[in-house]
Structure 1
Amino acid sequence: MADHSVIGTVRAAWRAWPAVARIAAIYVAARVLTTLLMLAVGAGAGSDSRFGADASPATYVLGWDAQWYWLVAVSGYPTELPVDDSGVVSENAWAFMPVYAYLAKVVGFGSWGLGALLISLVSGFAACLLLHRLLRARVGDRAATWAVVLFANSPLAVLFQVGYAESLFLALLLGALLCLALRRWWALYALIPLMGYTRPGVLAFALLLGLYGIWRWMRRATDPLPVREIVHVIALGGLAVVVGFSWQLIAAVVTGRADAYLETELAWRRGWVPGIESFVPFEGWVRAAELWMRLWGLPEWLGYVALAVLVIGAAAGLLSRSVRRLPVEVRLWSASYILYLLAVFFPQSSTFRLLLPLAPLWGAAPRSRAGRSATLVLCLVGQWAWTAAMYGSGNTFWQVP
């Protein structure tokens, strides 16, 4: 009886805390756990790891794609695209957007790595606050808080502590979704360009705005749609489209090649499937389905079956009861982003990282205590496995975050 009384008192005290204090406690605890995990992974790493034996978390901050962002910050973008011996464009900095790279340079006061770490950490906390606010009105405080717990401890949570732009993009994205839900239109005129020049994905937000406009139009009898809001939705959608394609134009002007950006992106894809001549929407998933079956020694037709199952499963998930409980802005964003990935992405070792913008779907996590606890355990196990593979023993083509 006494134990139950103590537990009840602790729970009551926890619920009495302001949301920002509870989320701060959750986020700090999660970052401590991730740091301990990074230390353990580094201590267990062998000399054949990309980062060497006994690598520290500070080493991981500057690992993998962080090197590209650092290169952008110190050297800018090439005016002439690098090419290989056959004249094909090779990997270069144009694949990486400038906001995170240059912001880390400013924040770090001479240490780009320090600036990158601070931005990732602070952005991760901001993303947690915004996620809670976005979900709370629809699913309640308890479910929204659990969504933050799972998000902060998710399998790729190490990205909150390394030099990747994902953390900043998530904060901007969740802020934009919250502004859309609250219909604070003017803030979106700033957030959309910031998103677009932080990380690819703003074209999915343009699709979201189109779907949102249709949804509002269909509900105008019960949810009035004044002309000024129609103008905002159309203008913001147009802005997202312009920003989404502007990087291609900027790269073309600076390098003198109209296909500079697409060829740069294809350089990474050609590392997996040589001989690709041009970008074809939706082709990446088909090529990948074939590739992975060959790598695993399985017949290619199984890849097509797996792809069909994946697409049907994603659609079923978006239509599930747990997802339908989420704000409509979250559901439309999730559908838009999944379609965007199907159109432009080539599934490879970075696939799980590319799924991070679907973070609002953590609000659809199990609602029972056992289900939430089991999901948290799976998240922590996944975090260890992913960090160990990508950072601890990372040294080959399928171990790039």
Structure 2
Amino acid sequence: MADRVLTPARRWAQAPIAARIAAIYIAARLATTGLLALAAMLSGPSSRYGAEAGIADFVIGWDAQWYWLVAVDGYPADLPRTEAGEVAENGWAFMPVYAYAAKIVGLPLGSWGAGALVISLVAGYFACIALHRLLHERIGSAAALWAVAFFASGPLAALFQVGYAEALFVMMLLFAIDAVQRRRYGILYVLIPLMAFTRPGILAFALFLGLHGIVRWVRRAREPLAGREIVHIIALGALATVTGFAWQAIAGIVTGDAGSYLATELAWRRAWGMGESGFVPFQGWIEAASFWFAQWGMPGWWGLIALAMLVAALVAALLFAPSVRRLGVDVRLWSASYLLYLLAVFFPQSSTFRLLMPLSPLWGAVVPRRLRYRMAVLMLCVIGQWVWIYHVYALGNTFWQVP
């Protein structure tokens, strides 16, 4: 009798890790589908999707429309302009890998949206595989599986089922970080260009490679650093830097305007009353700190203090928090690099939550020891997912609800 009671647990433990991750991922996707269906039921006349919304409308909603437009019409050679003569929102803000991959996959399926959904779903599964691979030697296989469950069910999990490039980018990113961690640099010559033309963020990876190289040099007495590895790190850092600026150069060549890409990105800031003075690194967060606190009826300088405290707290967590430290130096270096990148180039608004998805390796730092606490974290993940879905899909109708 005891053996029969234990059989399901033993079968689970003995199943291939890919199968266990698949079971977790499928369960998470079913839960997300239910939440999206509920959001469709609650979508009303004031929502951009209307009272007759369906899940398929969400798949191709918001920025997915831009990826679809790129796949259908390509990129504009003449930048669209507002009545004031400023560069308007246009397709140059959306990179081509996901847009055209969805078009190719969607051809036999009958639509671009179907292709986009398949790519996001499949990429999400392999991102879970990569996350477990990245974490299991640091925190143990069981804890890594829980990190996968949090990742697959978290507040941003709907991105595995809509026409956004995040799932594809994060999948490649997690495999790339794992390759760096295992000193298998060769695969990065393929992954870096693909990431660079999937979504912004490869410049953060260039910084990460630079910091990784410095750490390896400092530790070379404890961990030998071969000459070929030095060559790889330098070459890959250069590749990430060049491809990180390549899209700006391509946009400039096609449109005849060297500043077309930055002007396009800043067009989205103008909806918030920002971006009029051009791009200045770190200015977005400084302006936003004052802007948001003023919106909340508080002095703007409080926002600057809050921003400084936030940065200090993040630095302290990456340097000193035991749960973060045990993830390994490369995960911490990537997290620091990407956070610095966000501070340098983005204006925080509703999309900022989505932009945190490349920090997914940090799910390994929030896995509690006790089962009941793990279940509590999982429940909070699902609740957070519903809050996000409800606001950006069921209620979404204006620029401050963009996912």
TM range (shorter): over 0.9
- Is 1:349 the counterpart of 2:350? The answer is yes
Unaligned runs of 5+ in 1: none
Deviation, 1:293, is: 1.3
- Is 1:391 the counterpart of 2:396? The answer is no
Aligned to 1:79: 77
- Relative to the length of structure 1, the TM-score reads 0.97
Determine if contact 1:159/1:167 at 8 Å carries over to the other structure. Answer: yes
After the TM superposition, which residues 328-347 of structure 1 pair with which residues of structure 2 at under 5 Å, given as runs?
A: 328-347=329-348
Counterpart Cα distance in 2 of 1:217 and 1:393: 51
Alpha-carbon deviations, 1:339-359, whole Å to 9, x = none? 000110100110100000000
Aligned to 1:368: 370
Q: Identity of counterpart residues, as a percentage?
A: 61
Residue of 43, 65, 68 corresponding to 1:67: 65
Aligned to 1:35: 33
Determine if contact 1:117/1:163 at 8 Å carries over to the other structure. Answer: yes
Paired residue total = 399
Q: Which moved further from structure 2: 365-374 or 39-48?
A: 365-374
Aligned to 1:282: 282
After the TM superposition, which residues 55-134 of structure 1 pair with which residues of structure 2 at under 5 Å, given as runs?
A: 55-109=53-107, 110-134=110-134
Aligned to 2:8: 10
Residue of 18, 41, 44 corresponding to 2:42: 44
- Is 1:273 the counterpart of 2:280? The answer is no
Alpha-carbon deviations, 1:4-51, whole Å to 9, x = none? 876644322211111000000000000000001110111112111110
Counterpart Cα distance in 2 of 1:376 and 1:302: 33
Determine if contact 2:267/2:275 at 8 Å carries over to the other structure. Answer: no
Alpha-carbon deviations, 1:213-235, whole Å to 9, x = none? 01111111111001100000000
Instruction: Give, as a single letter, the amino acid of the residue that structure 1 aligns with 2:388.
Output: W
Counterpart Cα distance in 1 of 2:59 and 2:256: 34
Aligned to 2:318: 318
Supply the RMSD in Å over aligned alpha carbons.
1.3
Q: Which moved further from structure 2: 253-262 or 81-90?
A: 81-90
Determine if contact 1:44/1:54 at 8 Å carries over to the other structure. Answer: no
- Relative to the length of structure 2, the TM-score reads 0.97
Counterpart Cα distance in 2 of 1:219 and 1:95: 40
Deviation, 1:274, is: 4.2
Determine if contact 2:266/2:275 at 8 Å carries over to the other structure. Answer: no
Deviation, 1:296, is: 1.7
After the TM superposition, which residues 184-203 of structure 1 pair with which residues of structure 2 at under 5 Å, given as runs?
A: 184-203=184-203
Counterpart Cα distance in 1 of 2:52 and 2:311: 41
Counterpart Cα distance in 2 of 1:48 and 1:375: 33
Unaligned runs of 5+ in 2: none
